[in-house]
Every structure is written in C-alpha cells, then in structure tokens.
Structure 1
Amino acid sequence: MTTPPNHAQALQQRADASIITGPWPTYSQFKGFPERERWTIYELAKAGRQAMEDKGFEMAESYDAFVRRVTQELDL
C-alpha cells in the first residue's frame, strides 16, 4: 500500500474507522519524575494507545511519531 499524499486523503481512505486526531495527552509534566517512574508512564502511554487501537480506533499520529513525542516529553 502506498502512503496517501495528504492527511485529508488518508482520512477519507480510513473512513470506516474512528480516527483520533488529537489533541493528544501530553507527558511533559512528568519530566521531573525519577527515571523509573518516567519509564512506567511511557509503558502506560503505549498500553493506552494499544487498548484504543484494539477497540477499533485509528490514530492520525503514526506510532513512530507517538514514540518520538512521548520519549521526548518524558526526557527518555
């Protein structure tokens, strides 16, 4: 499958799914937590996203972009 050229077209192609476009939860407020707790929050964020996808939701934010954003916000 090829990548659609723009976001609007991508949404049209996935019209049968409930697409979550944001706003996304932010995790930067946890940046000052100890590293162990930040890793736990990261795992919870991934589990929450997976649970939503398992229920049929589709995220407009790619998984790679999600991981980059959350790890940056948590300073991991």
Structure 2
Amino acid sequence: MTTTTNPSQALPQRAGATIINGPWPTYSQFKGLPERERWTIYELAKAGRRALEGNGFEMAESYDAFVRRVTEELEL
C-alpha cells in the first residue's frame, strides 16, 4: 500500500523518535558495477540507516522492506 503525505505536515513521533518518511536514495544506478562494489554500496546503505536510527530517527520503511528494496536495486 502506498501512502502520500503532505511535506508541510509534521510526521508523527513514536517514543520521541522523528519518523523519516522519504524520499529514499535509490541504488539502481549502481547495478552495472562489479558485484564486489555493489556489496560495498549495500553495506554503506545499511551503515547510513544505522547511523540515522542511532541518532533517534525512525524509518517509515521497515528494515526488511529496506533490505529487499536495496538488494533488488543493486541486483544482489
């Protein structure tokens, strides 16, 4: 299900966390790179998400959906 939010509306907070709704970076432009480099980009994407979550942000995209999307975009 796709939901549309008005960017001028404040997103709700859960347990004091700011929820980040997107837009998310896409990684499909890297699918032509060698597999080793694509795995490196995948690890960097996960590290970026961990850093945001570590700073109190909550992602609207579940972790499983994030992993599925990034691996599909990188063709891993």
TM-score tier by shorter-chain length is 0.7 to 0.9
Mapped contact 2:12–2:18 kept (Cα < 8 A)? no
Partner residue, 1:44: 44
For the aligned residue pairs, the C-alpha RMSD in angstroms reads 1.7
Structure 1 gap segments, 5+ residues each: 1-6
Q: TM-score, normalised by structure 1?
A: 0.82
User: Match of 1:23, SS?
Assistant: coil
Large movers: runs of 4+ above 6 Å:
none
What is the percent sequence identity of the aligned residues? 82
User: CA offset at residue 17 of structure 1?
Assistant: 1.1
Q: TM-score, normalised by structure 2?
A: 0.82
User: CA offset at residue 29 of structure 1?
Assistant: 0.3
- Partners of 1:59 and 1:22 lie apart in 2 by 8
- Partners of 2:30 and 2:13 lie apart in 1 by 36
Count residues with an aligned counterpart. Answer: 67
Q: Which has the higher helix share?
A: 1
User: CA offset at residue 14 of structure 1?
Assistant: 1.1
- 34-43 or 16-25: which moved more? 16-25
- Partners of 1:58 and 1:31 lie apart in 2 by 27
